[in-house]
A and B are shown apart, each in its own frame.
Chain A
Amino acid sequence: MRLQRFATEVLVIGAGPAGLAAGYTAVRSGRHAILVDENPAPGGQIWRGEWTTPRSSEAALWFDKVRRAPLTILTGIRVIAEVAERTLLGEDQQTAYEFRYKTLILATGARERFLPFPGWTLPNVMGAGGLQALVKMGFPIRGKRVVVAGTGPLLLAVAAYLRAHGARVLMIAEQAPLSRLLWLGRGLWRFPTKAWQALILRGRLFDVPYRSSCWPLSANGDGRLQSVTLQCGSRTREIPCDYLACGFHLVPNVELALLLRCEVREGCVRVNEFQETSRANIFCAGEPTGIGGVDLALVEGQIAGYAAAGRPEAARALFPQRDRWRRFASRLNRTFALRPELKKLPDAQTIVCRCEDVPRGRLEEYRSWREAKLHTRCGMGPCQGRICGPAVEFLFGWTMESIRPPIFPARVESLIASPEQGESVWR
């Protein structure tokens, strides 16, 4: 097993908007920085597939800036463990990597929250962002009938994207009540760019029904999705479809922060005004500090980059901008809070943990995540509870207490690769 070693002043984990902004700001402030990302290309989820051909002007602008900067970006590498003080271990398909840093910036993004309901494990039932990610990577959706469901602003963006790629989007089912959506809409005048985006999205979806107080009760089919049954207000209706794209807003990826013993509260990494975590020299920016979207991620990334480079005054100048996007984020998160009825979606047979096939009925007798894990293996499969954890937290109120390395399934060769055996290339 090859082991490649890197040393840098500023190490950034995650090359989405927050990580790109952080790394760029750090190198423009005279620091040496390396960005590491597990995906095939930079851009995170929001700019997935845009590195070679940007669709949004914001992505084009940032990619251009980053390409002109002396910034090393390593993709396809997943960080799995901390092997020594200020040293992280990563791996790709062939090689193990050690990254030694003076300052670390965590920009590990978010994932969709999934809630179990009967039939959600059928092939062709996917995340809303999940189906969009596949189409971004070239999956042909033209002519397919898609129901988009769940909650959050992502549903509109996904529906518009799928439609632009030829999908027949039959309905957008949003669990939030109309009153909340109207409240959000009334406040949008303070965020004109967002109001404009919402109008454009709505325009592109003018003939697609957008139903509030509407959520999936079951996905139906034998071995493969055939239809979805929805609760729409007081009525239920069944819609035949090829795909159900269903996600319930987002949850921060805090596993690496937990591993590094940074304080995490209510699922978010705690940071001070300079985006520094409870551990000195470890910063965090973007979704892990609280779901806030691309604008907040870009500002937080820049603040973290300046602070990591020892330029607190430059960081401070961005605080008002961050406050503004935080206010927007808090409105979004209040609007798309999960309604309690969703806790009743899974019946006793519905699988909650997809890795270990643990149904809800087997979990009910336990009092904690730890107890349930020990007895049922819930959350102990390859995803390590990343999918069922947020669901179980919503259903039973259990929270994940700890994380153990490696934080992703890893090859033993990567874990035992040592500098004596491997090539030592300090850069």
Chain B
Amino acid sequence: MREVVTLTINHTRVEVPAGTTVLVALLANGIMAVRRSVSGEPRGPLCGIGVCFECRVTINDRPHCQSCQVLCEDGMDVRTE
């Protein structure tokens, strides 16, 4: 397994250790509010285990991915709202 994975978060290249979830990559890069709620409030993760859907982001053009349950991969394109 490779030690480091390179992905883009909101068009910026970042490197994270292999085995990092997308959510941890977002938080570690200063994005605490991962999405906006239906009434426009900033929201961050709540449950951390794939239940609450507060951490959903767009990964490789697929919307509504739960970033806490997906591991970072080389070349991944992650976008937050």
Closest to B23 in A: A134
Q: A93-B70, A134-B24, A138-B19 are in contact. Are A409 and B64 (CB under 8 A)?
A: yes
Q: Which of B20-36 contact A (CB under 8 A)?
A: 20-21, 23-24, 27-28, 32-34
Chain A residue contacts of B50, Cβ below 8 A: 38-39, 78
B41 contacts the other chain (CB 8 A): yes
Q: Is the CB of A382 within 8 A of B53?
A: yes
B47 contacts the other chain (CB 8 A): yes
Chain A residue total in the interface (Cβ 8 A):
42
Q: Is the CB of A387 within 8 A of B32?
A: no
A409 vs chain B, min Cβ distance (A): 7
Chain B residue contacts of A133, Cβ below 8 A: 47-49, 68
Q: Which of A140-172 contact B (CB under 8 A)?
A: 140
B17 contacts the other chain (CB 8 A): yes
Contacting residue for B49 out of A45, A121, A357, CB 8 A: A45
Among the 9-residue stretches A21-29, A124-132, A177-185, A228-236, the one with 4 or more Cβ atoms under 8 Å from chain B is A124-132
A5 contacts the other chain (CB 8 A): no
Q: A111-B51, A133-B49, A387-B46 are in contact. Are A140 and B71 (CB under 8 A)?
A: no
Q: Is the CB of B56 within 8 A of A382?
A: yes
Complex formed: what's the CA distance from A48 to B27 in Å? 19
A114 contacts the other chain (CB 8 A): yes
Q: Is the CB of B37 within 8 A of A357?
A: yes
Closest to B39 in A: A357
Q: Is the CB of A130 within 8 A of B70?
A: no
Chain B residue contacts of A123, Cβ below 8 A: 32-34, 42-44
Q: Which of A39-58 contact B (CB under 8 A)?
A: 39-40, 45, 48, 52
Q: Is the CB of A40 within 8 A of B42?
A: no
Q: Is the CB of A111 within 8 A of B21?
A: no
Complex formed: what's the CA distance from A114 to B71 in Å? 26
B30 vs chain A, min Cβ distance (A): 11
Chain A residue contacts of B27, Cβ below 8 A: 134, 139
A77 vs chain B, min Cβ distance (A): 11
Q: Is the CB of A223 within 8 A of B42?
A: yes
B52 contacts the other chain (CB 8 A): yes
Q: Is the CB of B54 within 8 A of A354?
A: yes
B21 vs chain A, min Cβ distance (A): 5
Contacting residue for B69 out of A40, A357, A386, A387, CB 8 A: A40
Give the A-B contact count at a CB cut-off of 8 A: 116
Closest to A377 in B: B38
| Chain B binding surface, main DSSP class | loop
Q: A354-B37, A383-B51, A387-B51 are in contact. Are A52 and B19 (CB under 8 A)?
A: yes
Chain B residue total in the interface (Cβ 8 A):
37
Contacting residue for B33 out of A111, A132, A140, A223, CB 8 A: A223
Complex formed: what's the CA distance from A140 to B39 in Å? 30
Q: Is the CB of B43 within 8 A of A131?
A: no
Q: A133-B68, A134-B27, A137-B21 are in contact. Are A386 and B51 (CB under 8 A)?
A: yes
B69 vs chain A, min Cβ distance (A): 7
Contacting residue for A121 out of B20, B41, B48, B68, CB 8 A: B41
A211 contacts the other chain (CB 8 A): no
A140 vs chain B, min Cβ distance (A): 6
A116 vs chain B, min Cβ distance (A): 11
Contacting residue for B52 out of A76, A131, A354, A409, CB 8 A: A354
Contacting residue for A138 out of B17, B56, B64, B70, CB 8 A: B17
Q: Is the CB of B20 within 8 A of A137?
A: yes
Q: Is the CB of B45 within 8 A of A134?
A: yes
Closest to B53 in A: A382
Please give me the 7 A-B residue pairs with the lowest Cβ-Cβ distance, nearest first.
A123-B44, A133-B48, A130-B48, A382-B53, A357-B39, A123-B32, A123-B33
Contacts A111-B49, A409-B64 given; 8 further ones with Cβ under 8 A? A93-B62, A121-B37, A121-B43, A125-B46, A129-B47, A134-B48, A137-B48, A138-B24
Write the residues of chain B forming the contact surface with A, with a CB cutoff of 8 angstroms.
16-17, 19-21, 23-24, 27-28, 32-34, 37-39, 41-54, 56, 62, 64-65, 68-71
A-B CB contact pairs (8 Å), 13 listed: A38-B69, A39-B49, A40-B71, A114-B46, A123-B32, A125-B44, A127-B46, A132-B48, A133-B47, A134-B68, A137-B20, A355-B38, A387-B47
